[in-house]
Structure 1
């Protein structure tokens, strides 16, 4: 007969996999979210084996992996056109329920109706009186299709009324089908992948789950301007967001004997585009004048679509930051002129005697008509930050700017 692994949101099973786990489903979770607990079932104590996370975290992971609304909308439009092409126009509009479903179907309507189902507490999806008991769920062709799929164990996909024929499998994107479910739910809803039955039946081994994460290949490569950026980003990710750590790898400057800098990063991106590197890449430039020069130059070059170019995000406190120039010390907006990774280290690092280490204005760029700047006492600041990374804690250290930076990085594919 076999055993199943089941994926659920808010207690409602949405997908099943017989006798094995789905790698697509594992991508919703972190190995840190693997859990076991005991419960009484039919008078016997049973140990449940599962992965558990929130919709917000699962959705973030899929977005890091390349899911976004634009890609989803294209997927929806293309598949809907395919299905509608199978129906001839009926002048009298004597549509079957299936035809009515496809003619009513839009991404907005599908997610609205799916949301009503997935967010209904204590829902028995097989209850014949579901519409009478749960008046928040509309009785229409879309909800009937969703409920039928969920209650019969059919694959939950918006575009196939009942079965998916073998020659149509290429139309399915399992990750986007899951993404539709996630964007249709509150972010604090619980997502679970129950491996209990398949594990106890001997079809899967717990070690294989960890092995999947240990050998995860579909990573996003982070390439900032230099070695300090790499050290700070990798260590802060491990401390602040360990649940997303396995999704990223970092460019190895030491292995390539690379010095770093804006021009080197620009050359790397050109090389990777020419070599057609397939990994998702996020290139992170400083938010300064030198970076703006390179980024403008890159707009004239066909950079691969899998490469995202970003600058360090704007910081509010940098709108009025102390600077040193020819006329002495003045406060100025340094966003876009002199924001480097050091300004994300936290006030406990870049302040001394309650005063910010100032920015020193240096080179003037004639074309952009603005100065380049960098923070003073940089070596001392980096040493302090390295100590902070060795001994991190949330209680008396300022990590707010690095949290903000990472949250910005997570959204680069959206």
Structure 2
């Protein structure tokens, strides 16, 4: 006999795995989700050990893995089309035993699958007699239409979670594996698997974030942990300081070319500043034929930067500095940018001949960052932190969207290769 771990929607067991925790189960959790709590079995003195996250958090993580609602619907429609073709082929060859299933597939639609899935999932071990042919196939233990993408797959889990609107939390229960001796009670399952799989784009390797310099990386890394802690294990950060790696737009462009030439297998996202130099480099890189796993974004335009005080040879003016002087410091909140009751101005530093535009940066950049990091450390509630730093939230939302698009494309291509090889 073996022991099992399970994925649960609230108290409902969705799928199981014998003796091991599959990577696809670990992929939707991070180590901070681990809980050790009193056993639900009153006769059991050993605690339950689980990983648990809210439905919305798991959906956001699945998006980062490319298992978006759009991909799932495409996969379900493709599966249904293929199944219909297969069974219609049986009928065309006078296989009478196929008539009933072929007719059921004609009646089944993606929308009908989503309607039926919650009830089938909740009662699949209770009801002995199916209500119709579709119901029978969805409850089939060997080739269930409920798991159209394969038992326990991330796409299948996403489809079921999309269908089950009332689910509050998703849980990975590893209690039985610990009790059965398959896992050490203190083993950090998700952390260990993610580190071991660091060079593999799917499904556990984090996306590597690159910036123009160490200050950009420092801000992004610390802000992710506070603003979106439920996604921090899904990203790692290029460390300029560790080996004294040079920074700046020129070097960032060179790094991207080098990673592309080396065919680096992991997913990465390069974040360029929203200033003259950064925008010029972003446009340059955007013309390169980079592989799909190398993503390029720039800091987004903000309302704050649309009317920002500046200082230059022509005096003081309030202008739109998006695209000319919006470095990472302009995304650290009004409080950090304010000194003596006024916003610290952007100072124009020179003219970029190639871009035909002036370049600028906010005064006292180091003080702005230091004030921001001190303020960031005071927040314990992510919602409060997001309300305090809306510009930085827009940065992370832009990164999330870019990674989701890349992962979604990779998921489609991977599925296409698998189907072609099959």
Task: Map 1:171-182 onto structure 2 (within 5 A).
Answer: 174-182=153-161
1:261 and 2:256 are equivalent in the alignment? no
User: Matches of 1:14 and 1:86 in 2, distance apart?
Assistant: 28
* CA positional deviation for 1:129: 9.2
**Corresponding residue number in structure 2 for 1:228:** 215
> 2:280 aligned with 1:293, yes or no?
yes
**Superposed, which structure 2 residues align to 1:193-204 within 5 Å?**
193-204=172-183
Deviations 1:334-373 (A, max 9, x none): 2222211111222221111232112223444566554332
Give the corresponding residue for 2:148. Answer: 159
Measured against aligned partners, the alpha-carbon deviations of 1:283-310 in whole angstroms (never above 9, x if no partner) come to 1111222222222222332111011111
Name the SS of the counterpart of 2:51 in structure 1: strand
The runs of 5 or more residues in structure 1 that have no matched partner are 132-138, 165-171
Cα distance in 2 for residues equivalent to 1:256 and 1:399: 31
Q: State the SS of the aligned residue for 2:292.
A: coil
Change (3 A) 1:158 1:215: closer
Confirm or deny: 8 A CA contact 2:69 2:162 kept in the other structure. Answer: no
8 Å Cα contact 2:117-2:146 kept in structure 1: no
The counterpart of 1:98, out of the listed 78, 97, 101, is 101
Residue 418 of structure 2 corresponds to none
Q: Contact 2:87 / 2:101 at 8 angstroms: preserved in 1?
A: no
Deviates more, 1:303-312 or 1:401-410: 401-410
Tell me how far apart the structure 2 counterparts of residues 141 and 330 of structure 1 sit (CA, whole Å). 73
How far 1:40 sits from its partner (Å)? Answer: 5.3
TM-aligned CA deviation for residue 67 of structure 1:
3.0
What corresponds to 2:396 in structure 1? 406
Cα separation, partners in 2 of 1:156 and 1:290, compared to 1, 3 Å: farther
Distance in 1 of aligned mates of 2:42 and 2:347: 72
What SS is found at the alignment partner of 2:38? strand
Deviation at 1:214, TM superposition (A): 5.3
Q: Distance in 2 between matches of 1:366 and 1:109?
A: 60
1:317 matches 2:304? yes
Partner residue, 1:351: 338
1:344/1:401 contact within 8 Å kept = yes
Task: For residue 221 of structure 1, report the CA deviation from its aligned partner.
Answer: 0.5
Q: Which residue does 2:324 correspond to in 1?
A: 337
Query: How far apart are the structure 2 equivalents of 1:173 and 1:234?
Result: 32
In structure 1, what is the Cα distance between the partners aligned to 2:78 and 2:148?
10
How far, CA to CA, are the matches of 1:82 and 1:310 in structure 2?
37
Tell me how far 1:246 sits from its aligned partner.
2.4
Partner of 1:36: 36
CA distance 1:22–1:312, shift in 2 (3 Å): same
Q: Secondary structure of 1:206's partner?
A: coil
User: Which structure dedicates a bigger proportion of its chain to helix?
Assistant: 2
Instruction: Give yes or no for contact 2:69–2:158 (8 Å, CA) kept in 1.
Output: no
* Corresponding residue number in structure 2 for 1:278: 265
Query: Aligned with 1:317: secondary structure?
Result: helix
For 2:309, what is the secondary structure of its paired residue? strand
Q: Cα gap change, 1:78/1:366 in structure 2, threshold over 3 Å: closer, same or farther? A: farther
User: Is the CA contact 1:37–1:47 (under 8 Å) kept in the aligned structure 2?
Assistant: yes
Report how far residue 196 of structure 1 moved: 2.2
Q: What do the CA deviations read for 1:161-197 (whole angstroms, capped 9, x no partner)?
A: xxx7xxxxxxx89222222223334486210112222
Cα distance in 2, alignment partners of residues 383 and 38 from structure 1: 42
In 2, Cα distance between equivalents of 1:305 and 1:213: 21
Q: Which residue of structure 2 lines up, in the alignment, with residue 128 of structure 1?
A: 127
Equivalent pair of 1:115/1:185 in contact (CA under 8 Å): yes
Structure 1 residue 84 and structure 2 residue 74: aligned? no
The RMSD of aligned alpha carbons is 3.5
Distance 1:109 1:266 in 2: 49
Deviations 1:21-74 (A, max 9, x none): 222112211212211222453766663222111121112222223333454455
Matches within 5 A, 1:241-260: 241-260=228-247
Distance between the aligned counterparts of 1:371 and 1:111, measured in 2? Answer: 54
> 2:59 matched to which residue of 1?
59
After TM superposition, the score normalised by the length of structure 2 is: 0.79
Q: Give 2:193's aligned residue.
A: 212
Q: C-alpha displacement at 1:279, in angstroms?
A: 0.5
Counterpart position of 2:117: 114
CA contact (8 A) 1:15 1:155 kept: no
